[in-house]
Amino acid sequence: MYALIMAGGKGTRLWPISRRGQPKQLLELLFERTLLQQAYERISPLISDDNIFVATVESYAEAVREQIPNVPASNIVIEPEGRGTAPCIGLAALYLRREDPDAVMAVLTSDHIIEDEEGFRRSLLAAAEVAKEGYLVTFGIKPDRPHTGYGYIKRGEVLKKIGGYEVFRVERFTEKPDLAKAWEFLESGDYYWNSGMFVWKASTVLREMERLMPKLHAQLMEIDAYIGTERERDVLEAVWVGVEEGTIDYGVMEGAADVVVIPVDIGWSDVGSWATIYELLPSDEEGNVIVGEHVGLDTTGSLILSQRRLVATIGLEGMIVVDAEGVVLICPKERAQDVKRLVEELKKKGMDAHL
C-alpha cells in the first residue's frame, strides 16, 4: 500500500496563528509534534517511507521536508499552486501508477487529529482489501452532534464485512447541511461525516477522473508524458496554469461508480477551529487551556494562546484569545467558526499583510 499525505492546505480558521506561510499542518505551537508529523507517524508502522508520498505547494515544500525528513525528497510532489484536492490527487496518482500499476493509495489529510491510531491503521488495511477490488473507499465518521461544517455521506446497503468492519455502498454525498438538516442526519443514523480520507487504486481514481473530469484528466496526461524527462517541471508548471480548482468530493466522488464507505470510530477531529483546539488540549482547574504567559482574574472555560506576549484577562468566560505575530484575536468559543468570515473581511479590506 502507498500513502499520499495531502499537505498543501491553507486553513484560515486557525488564523491568526495559521498564516499564509504557516498553514495549520505545519504549526509548531500547538502540539508537541506538528499535525503533519502526526499524520506521518500514524501510518509509519504500516507503510514504509519509500511508499509514503506527500503533496504540497512550493511555498511549504521546505518546511515539509524539514518536518518529515524520513520521507524521500523524490516522494514529495510539489504542485506549483494549490488547486484543490482533485488536481492534487490526480497528479500524485500519476507517480504512484508508475511505481506500481496496481498501486493502492491511501489519500490522507495532514491537518487532522486521530486519537486511535491503532484502530486507524486496522481500518486502512481493511479499506485496502476493498480498494484492490476496484472500489473507491471512503471513511465515514459517526456523528455525535449536528455539525454544519462537514460534508456527510449517506450509506446504502451493506456490501460486505471485512476484518471486523462493515462496508456500505454510498447512496449519496451531501454538502454542508444547515442545522435542521444536520439534526435530521444525526437522528437517522444513516449519515457519516466525510473525513476527507480515501483508499483506492491509483488506476481506479484516474479512470473515474477520465470519465467525470475529462479536462483535468487530459491535463494530467500531458504532464504524465513528460515525467522523468528534463522538461517535467516546465510542463507541469505550464499545464498547471490552466488547471481549474476542484475538490475530489464534488468532482469525482459524487458521480463515481462503486463508492463505498467504511464507518470508523477512531477519535477523529479535523481541528477545524479554535473551539476544537480548546477541546483537544488539556485544561486546568478553571477549565482554561493556556499556552504561553497569562494572568487572569475570574477567567474560566477559555482558550488563551500567546506566542510571546502576556495576556491579561478579567471576567472572561468561554472566550478564545489568540495572540500572534502582530495580531490579537478575541472571540467567544461558540463564534470560532466565524474566524473564516473575519479573514474574508480582512481580504476585502485589503489588510493582506495580516493574512
Residue 20 interacting with its own copies (CB under 8 A): no
Residue 297 interacting with its own copies (CB under 8 A): yes
Taking alpha carbons only, the member of 301, 292, 308 closest to residue 333 is 301
User: For its own copies, which stretch binds (CB under 8 A), given 110-118, 147-155, 202-210, 315-323?
Assistant: 315-323
Q: Write down the least CB distance from residue 180 to its own copies, Å.
A: 23
Residue 351 interacting with its own copies (CB under 8 A): yes
Taking alpha carbons only, the member of 290, 299, 344, 330 closest to residue 317 is 299
Residue 260 interacting with its own copies (CB under 8 A): no
Residue 309 interacting with its own copies (CB under 8 A): yes
Residue found by looking up cell 482574574 in the block: 297
Residue 28 interacting with its own copies (CB under 8 A): no
Residue 187 CB-density burial (10 A; 0-12 exposed, 13-18 middle, 19+ buried): exposed
Which C-beta is closer to its own copies: that of 145 or that of 308? 308
Q: Would strands 113-114 and 303-306 be described as parallel, antiparallel, or unpaired?
A: unpaired
From 32, 228, 349, 350, residue interacting with its own copies (rule: CB under 8 A): 349
Residue 332 interacting with its own copies (CB under 8 A): yes
CA of 190: how far to CAs of 161, 172, 199, 295, in Å? 17, 11, 21, 47
End-to-end CA distance of the chain: 38
Residues sharing a CB contact under 8 Å with residue 311, sequence separation 6 or more, in sequence order: 292, 293, 294, 295, 304, 321, 323
Which C-beta is closer to its own copies: that of 263 or that of 292? 292
From 82, 239, 326, 352, residue interacting with its own copies (rule: CB under 8 A): 326
Residue 161 interacting with its own copies (CB under 8 A): no
Give me 204's grid cell. Answer: 481506479
Q: What is the rounded distance in angstroms from the CA atom of residue 125 to the CA atom of residue 163?
A: 8
User: For its own copies, which stretch binds (CB under 8 A), given 153-161, 169-177, 280-288, 303-311?
Assistant: 303-311
Q: Write down the least CB distance from residue 151 to its own copies, Å.
A: 24
Residue 311 interacting with its own copies (CB under 8 A): yes
Residue 111 interacting with its own copies (CB under 8 A): no
- Cβ atoms of 127 and 106 within 8 Å: the answer is yes
Residue 346 interacting with its own copies (CB under 8 A): yes
Residue 340 interacting with its own copies (CB under 8 A): no
Q: What is the rounded distance in angstroms from the CA atom of residue 337 to the CA atom of residue 32?
A: 24
DSSP 252: I
Task: Tell me which amino acid residue 69 is.
Answer: P
Residue 345 interacting with its own copies (CB under 8 A): yes
Which C-beta is closer to its own copies: that of 247 or that of 306? 306
Which C-beta is closer to its own copies: that of 33 or that of 309? 309
Measure the CA angle with vertex 266, ends 261 and 272; round to 5°. 90
DSSP 243: P
Which C-beta is closer to its own copies: that of 80 or that of 301? 301
Applying CB under 8 A, what is the total number of residues that bind its own copies?
A: 34
Q: Write down the least CB distance from residue 178 to its own copies, Å.
A: 20
| 106 three-state secondary structure | strand
Residue 125 interacting with its own copies (CB under 8 A): no
From 114, 341, 350, 352, residue interacting with its own copies (rule: CB under 8 A): 341
Tell me the β-bridge partners of 296: 313
- Cβ atoms of 182 and 147 within 8 Å: the answer is yes
Q: Write down the least CB distance from residue 280 to its own copies, Å.
A: 21
Q: What is the rounded distance in angstroms from the CA atom of residue 292 to the CA atom of residue 158?
A: 49
User: For its own copies, which stretch binds (CB under 8 A), given 108-116, 246-254, 260-268, 304-312?
Assistant: 304-312
From 51, 310, 350, 352, residue interacting with its own copies (rule: CB under 8 A): 310
Residue 218 Cα to chain centre, angstroms = 26
Residues contributing to the site for its own copies (CB under 8 A): 16, 295-298, 308-316, 319, 321, 323, 326-332, 335, 338-339, 341-342, 345-346, 349, 351, 354
